[in-house]
Amino acid sequence: MRNIWDTVISNRVLFLSLLFVILFVFFSFTIPGFFNLYNLSNMTQYGVELGLLALAEALVILSGGGGIDLSVGSMMSLVSILMGVLIGRAGWSPVFAVPLGILAGMGMGLFNGILVSLGRILPLIVTLAGLYMYRSLALIIAVDPQFGPNPMPVSTFPESFYFVGQYRVGGIPFQVLFIFLPVLLIFHFLLSRTTWGRQLYGVGSNETAAVFSGINLKKVRLTVYTLSGILSALAAWVITSRIASARPDVGTGYELQAITIAVLGGISIQGGEGTVGGVLLAVAIITMINNGLQLAGIHQIWQLGALGAVLVGSVLLNQFLIQRRKI
Amino acid sequence: MNTWVRIVRRREFTVFILIVILSIIFAVSTDRFLSISNISNLLSQLAGVAIAAIGMTMVIITGGIDVSVGSTLGLACVVSGSLLMIQAPFLLVLLATLGTGLAVGLLNGVIVAYGRVPPIITTLGMMNMVRALVFQALGGRWISGIPPEVRTIGLGKWLQIPLAMWVAGALIVVFSYFLSYRPLGRSVYAVGNNPEAARVSGVNLKTTLLFVYGLTGALAGFAGLINVGRTGIVQTNNGMGFELDVIAAVVLGGTSILGGRGTIVGSLLGALLVAIIKNGMILLNIPALTEGVIIGALIIISVLIDLVRGRGVR
């Protein structure tokens, strides 16, 4: 019995699965309106943006060398308002504006990546600077000279823009089926089945060994920061379409939630350890907690509080287990 | 000669020169920059960041980070605001505020030192939990209308300089001395440079960590008291984003994010640089929106300057 318990808590994916099931059963019995098909399928859409950002964070943290991306929220804000301005104010078709927005996200990620890998500046510093710069640029873009000097959100979109965030296919939200799941599958495949994935884990767990075995450290790191930018831009597209509004501050605070979820999902903050599956489970758990608390009428600030407690608690438990294993 | 080269090569010197250049530019292009009221206004906004940066510098020197200072400041605002509203004696307000910050900081310290949870994780979680607490305490309302006569710590001046800045200055002098000459201060650097070597040579790792996180919490609390004194209002979002301002000041001031190197005076200069930029932009009517671009670019440029000179950030 003790052995089974040990396996469950020392295997993150198993532990999270168990936690998920327990919470699911608990909410189903205690919160009215939780366990029905509509709520369950509806709930999934709220996890998409956070899930994409958490995945971005996971990739960056995996790459090691103090890898972290504090700028994901700001990149999301900038891409969101960029798409909004192009479509809503300049009258562009989403067919051109969305790819340009994704390209902008890629550009910002690439800029971070160049400074980290070629400039050899620490990720925390680069992305802190990125957080400031991209957020500020988002506010500047949002200014509509017609209405004075203050940044304004954009809410005038053509009907065709809403399919990503508001349509359903077979009862399941479009963005879950056609954006989130494919992205997850692609990254699961990349990380577990390709040379690039093995290189990423290698770079993250032992930089020196990776370099000596011929892995191009700079290229790997450059790629993950660029991917982080692209994923943030995807998240921006989804959220802008879902809430039908482009806001220059939409991503504020998301970076910390994304980091929390990545770490909760078993991505070691030292790099080189963790899986896409773990991150998916963490996103599912957090989305479910948010939904449950909301249905129970508890203010959303407590969702953040609970998130903090779960994060510290899960890592504490982990460290405790490592200590015990050593003895 | 050698000493001069050493001084010129320091980050503090780069930042100092930037401050001088910017001050000259602002002084020439606006007529209000050097006015006493403007400088005093600038300093009263600087004081909070400068005080919290003392603790943050030490935390970062040990190789850690504390992103919970903004929430701690928020909680301290609630405590001090509520006590000031009922006109409690100042000593009680001060002790309660410092105590609140100290409690949060020590909790961080215990989790980092005894639980061995990475600082970024610990303080990230703490940030969210304390913010929830702030919200719960205020229940979505504001505390406003705190009478000016009990707000001396934020409004008071001596020799035209805000009282809060005098306190900040005194704290900077005391803790700079402490960090350079006292055993516990030296152990802060030792822990950041090489924790294993520090432990073997008799430095108490856990005590040192408890001390730096506790101090940071208490100082963030004090910054909250100053904030309430200055504005007279307590809101749920008090201190949101404050942690980034403090970290930016410390990083600009030359403290290595990898630990083991940095000075409190450097962080003060970093904070001053940011404050001068913000202030000058307002005077020049440059939209405040561009502020982030400038601060972000400055952080990167100052680190790149170090790299070009071959000093490296590592």
- pLDDT tens by residue, B129-149: 998 899 888 887 888 777 777
Rounded mean pLDDT, B265-280: 90
Query: Between chains, do B303 and A128 touch, taking CB under 8 Å as contact?
Result: no
Query: Between chains, do B115 and A319 touch, taking CB under 8 Å as contact?
Result: yes
- Provide the shortest C-alpha distance from residue A17 to chain B (in Å): 22
B121: nearest CB among A139, A299, A315: A315
B60 has a chain A CB within 8 A of its CB: no
- Provide the shortest C-alpha distance from residue A129 to chain B (in Å): 4
- Provide the shortest C-alpha distance from residue A77 to chain B (in Å): 14
**Domains, chain A, with CATH or none:** 43-326 (1.10.3470)
Dist CA B159 CA B162 (whole Å): 8
Query: Between chains, do A128 and B299 touch, taking CB under 8 Å as contact?
Result: yes
Rounded mean pLDDT, B79-100: 88
pLDDT tens sequence across B21-53: 988 988 888 888 888 888 888 888 899 999 999
B286 has a chain A CB within 8 A of its CB: no
Contact predicate A123/A204, CB 8 Å:
no
Say what the pLDDT of residue B309 is: 64
B257: nearest CB among A120, A122, A269: A122
Q: Residue B91's Cα: distance from chain center in Å? A: 23
Dist CA A157 CA B297 (whole Å): 33
Q: Which two tokens stand for residue B88?
A: 């409690």
pLDDT at B265 over 80: yes
Q: Where are the domains of chain B?
A: 35-308
Across A130-152, b (16+ Cβ under 10 Å) vs e yields bbbbbbbbbbbbbbbeeeeeebb
A132: nearest CB among B118, B296, B303: B296
Could you tell me the fold of the domain covering B35-308?
ABC transporter involved in vitamin B12 uptake, BtuC (1.10.3470)
Say what the pLDDT of residue A194 is: 93
Say what the pLDDT of residue A253 is: 79
Rounded mean pLDDT, A140-168: 84
Say what the pLDDT of residue B313 is: 42
pLDDT tens sequence across A230-263: 999 999 999 999 998 999 888 887 887 898 889 8
Q: Which of A75, A108, A121, A208 to mutate to test the interface with B (most CBs of B within 10 A)?
A: A121
Query: Between chains, do A137 and B293 touch, taking CB under 8 Å as contact?
Result: yes
Q: Which of A112, A125, A270, A302 to mutate to test the interface with B (most CBs of B within 10 A)?
A: A125
ipTM at complex level: 0.78
pLDDT at B314 over 50: no
B291 has a chain A CB within 8 A of its CB: yes
Please, what is the end-to-end C-alpha distance for chain B in angstroms? Answer: 26
Question: Residue A10 — very low, low, confident or very high, per pLDDT cuts 50/70/90?
Answer: low
From B111, which residue of chain A is nearest by alpha-carbon distance? A316
Rounded mean pLDDT, A17-42: 87
Chain A residues with CB-CB distance to B303 below 8 A: 121, 125
Chain B residues with CB-CB distance to A314 below 8 A: none
B122 has a chain A CB within 8 A of its CB: yes
Say what the pLDDT of residue A1 is: 53
Q: Quick count: other Cβ atoms within 10 Å of Cβ B314?
A: 9
Strands of chain A (E only): list them.
Answer: 168-169, 172-173
Query: Between chains, do B300 and A311 touch, taking CB under 8 Å as contact?
Result: no
Dist CA B128 CA A313 (whole Å): 13
pLDDT at B87 over 60: yes
Burial class of residue A312 in the structure, from the number of CB atoms within 10 Å of its CB (0-12 exposed, 13-18 middle, 19+ buried) = buried
From A134, which residue of chain B is nearest by alpha-carbon distance? B293
Dist CA A248 CA A137 (whole Å): 9
Say what the pLDDT of residue A167 is: 82
Q: Which residues contact A53 (CB under 8 A, 6 or more apart)?
A: A72, A73, A76, A231, A232, A235, A254, A255, A257, A258
Say what the pLDDT of residue A3 is: 66
